[in-house]
Amino acid sequence: MFIKQLYTGCLSEAAYYIESGTEAAIIDPLRDIEAYLELAAERNASIKYIFETHFHADFVSGHLDLSKATGAPIIYGPGTETSFEIHKATDGEIFTLGNITIEVLHTPGHTLESSCYLIKDENKKPHAIFTGDTLFVGDVGRPDLSSGNLSKEDLAGMLYNSLREKIMPLPDDVIVYPAHGPGSSCGKNLGPNTYSTIADEKEGNYALQPVSKKEFIKSVTDGLEAPPNYFPINAKINKEGYDSLDEVLQQGLKPLSIDEFKKLISEDDPILLDTRDETLFSQGFVPGSISIGLEGRFAEWAGSLLPFDKSIVLITEIGKEKETIVRLARVGFDKIIGYLDGGFEAWQKSGNDIDLIIDVEADELAMDIPFDENLVVIDVRRETEFADGHIVNALNIPLSEMNDPASMANLEETQNLYVHCGGGYRSVIAASLLKRQGIHNLRNVSGGWNKIKEQKNIEVVKEKSVLN
């Protein structure tokens, strides 16, 4: 038996390759399927099954393209309804893979169709369980993403039963392989590791402690931040189907000359997405561009901030065009219509107008605060980050809310805006959004809160009411 976790950091997502003999299965594949096909080919195995733990909300799954490429059936748990052909498994159904078996455990709670897959080795001994979003390291899946007609409390109650009836009775040495690791918005506070054991989760996971169902429901549903805006869109795509990634790439990998680029801007008003490092973007960019750098949680922020119904034209580092399109496609963006040939450098060399963002150091902000009565600090970190420490009188507008007109309503042209986040990535995105909305009197604080909190002459406070 061979098991390999294929982890994608920017989405905190884990897909799995399982093999016994010459047969393989894939669990929760991403939309770009080459890694699975290549691994099977390298190991002289054929992909026999494609297992999905549930309708993913945070990425578009690769089940359709992988099934088309291999002929393997797509398997979902009980209660699943899709617009394409699947094998709808029953609770307790067993699939044979070489010398091992895979048992379906229906575990509703995160979603109604959520199911886990229990691997038993050649001796029929439970070896590992692939828990999807039912059980994470140190956490469980949030019950407020896909409830049908049920409340989050109803689903949390189901999750309580699923954990105690299907997962906790398993042997302590069974390995737990979840669908997500730290940073995922599919739970509240996932642990730092990407796998665990039943014994370790019984000991350290708050959701597996001996509490009543009522106490469990409260603990799981309290403190849930709003999920990213694109979650329901991705869940719908995974349920109804999508265009093949090859088609998306064929359309998106179209080099645009400067003239073609300008014509598209004037005629179609597409989103101009610049995926270069935020430090490069600040130094110069095509006016109206939105910065979301590939080096951060790129796909998640793109899904949260960009519209899905508008065309996208890319401005990337040369050679990063395909990677950008693939990572956008992972969260459901299919309307990429080309990229600026030669990137920003070609635009600049052609003598076209450019825009830039003024970067300032934290010590400069410290010097300006006492003497500028029009100075306004905009902190774009999450509410809980802000509450844990922020500049006195700072305005908290989380980056995820930057496209909400209500969040911008209190900003005035006479204000001198200083924008910061935790380290600098999110604040440049925020600055580009503000500039796109016509707000140009702003500065980006380099290094963000990490540098600000080192300044002894900047007064900071905490919001205890939020932290408690």
- What pLDDT shows up at residue 212? 96
Confidence category of residue 391, pLDDT binned at 50, 70, 90? very high
Please tell me the distance from the alpha carbon of residue 195 to that of residue 209, in angstroms, as a whole number: 19
**Least confidently predicted of 210-224, 246-260, 406-420:** 406-420
Instruction: Read off the pLDDT of each residue in 371-395 and give the average, rounded to a whole number.
Output: 94
5-58 pLDDT per residue, tens:
999 998 999 999 999 999 999 999 999 999 999 999 999 999 999 999 999 999
Query: Which tokens hold the place of 94?
Result: 């067993």
For residues 409 and 292, the model is more confident at 292
Q: Is 60 in contact with 299 (CB distance < 8 Å)?
A: no
Instruction: Read off the pLDDT of each residue in 361-379 and give the average, rounded to a whole number.
Output: 94
Looking at residue 225, its amino acid is: E
**Least confidently predicted of 80-84, 210-214, 331-335, 413-417:** 413-417
- What pLDDT shows up at residue 147? 60
pLDDT, averaged across the chain: 95
Please tell me the distance from the alpha carbon of residue 21 to that of residue 19, in angstroms, as a whole number: 7
Instruction: Read off the pLDDT of each residue in 236-249 and give the average, rounded to a whole number.
Output: 95
Q: Is the pLDDT of residue 178 over 60?
A: yes
Q: Is the pLDDT of residue 465 over 80?
A: no
Q: Is the pLDDT of residue 403 over 90?
A: no
Q: Is 93 in contact with 267 (CB distance < 8 Å)?
A: no
Q: Label each residue of the chain as H, E or C.
A: CEEEEEEEHHHCEEEEEEEECCEEEEECCECCCHHHHHHHHHCCCEEEEEECCCCCCCCCECHHHHHHHHCCCEEECCCCCCCCCCEECCCCCEEEECCEEEEEEECCCCECCCEEEEEECCCCCEEEEEEECCECCCCECCCCCECCCCCHHHHHHHHHHHHHHHHCCCCCCCEEEECECCCCCCCCCCCCCCCEEHHHHHHHCHHHCCCCHHHHHHHHHCCCCCCCCCHHHHHHHHHHCCCCHHHHHHHHCCEECHHHHHHHHHHHCCEEEECCCHHHHHHCECCCCEECCCCCCHHHHHHHHCCCCCCEEEECCCCCHHHHHHHHHCCCCCCEEEEECCHHHHHHHCCCCCECCEEECHHHHHHHCCCCCCEEEEECCCHHHHHCCEECCCEECCHHHCCCHHHHCCCCCCCEEEEECCCCHHHHHHHHHHHHCCCCCEEEECCHHHHHCCCCCCCEECCHHHHC
267-286 pLDDT per residue, tens:
989 999 999 999 999 999 99
Q: How many CB atoms sit inside 10 A of residue 456's CB?
A: 7
Please tell me the distance from the alpha carbon of residue 429 to that of residue 399, in angstroms, as a whole number: 8
Looking at residue 122, its amino acid is: E
- What pLDDT shows up at residue 32? 95
- What pLDDT shows up at residue 466? 58
Nearest in space to 31 (alpha carbons), one of 58, 3, 71, 4:
58
Q: How many CB atoms sit inside 10 A of residue 225's CB?
A: 13
Q: Is the pLDDT of residue 468 over 60?
A: no
297-327 pLDDT per residue, tens:
999 999 999 999 999 999 999 999 999 999 9
- What pLDDT shows up at residue 360? 97
pTM for this prediction: 0.93
Residue 154 backbone zone (phi > 0: left; psi -120 to 50: alpha; other: beta): alpha
124-172 pLDDT per residue, tens:
999 999 999 999 999 999 999 866 688 999 999 999 999 999 999 999 9
Nearest in space to 106 (alpha carbons), one of 166, 178, 168:
166
- What pLDDT shows up at residue 189? 84
- What pLDDT shows up at residue 333? 97
Q: Is 178 in contact with 137 (CB distance < 8 Å)?
A: yes
For residues 175 and 150, the model is more confident at 175
Residue with tokens 């119904």: 309
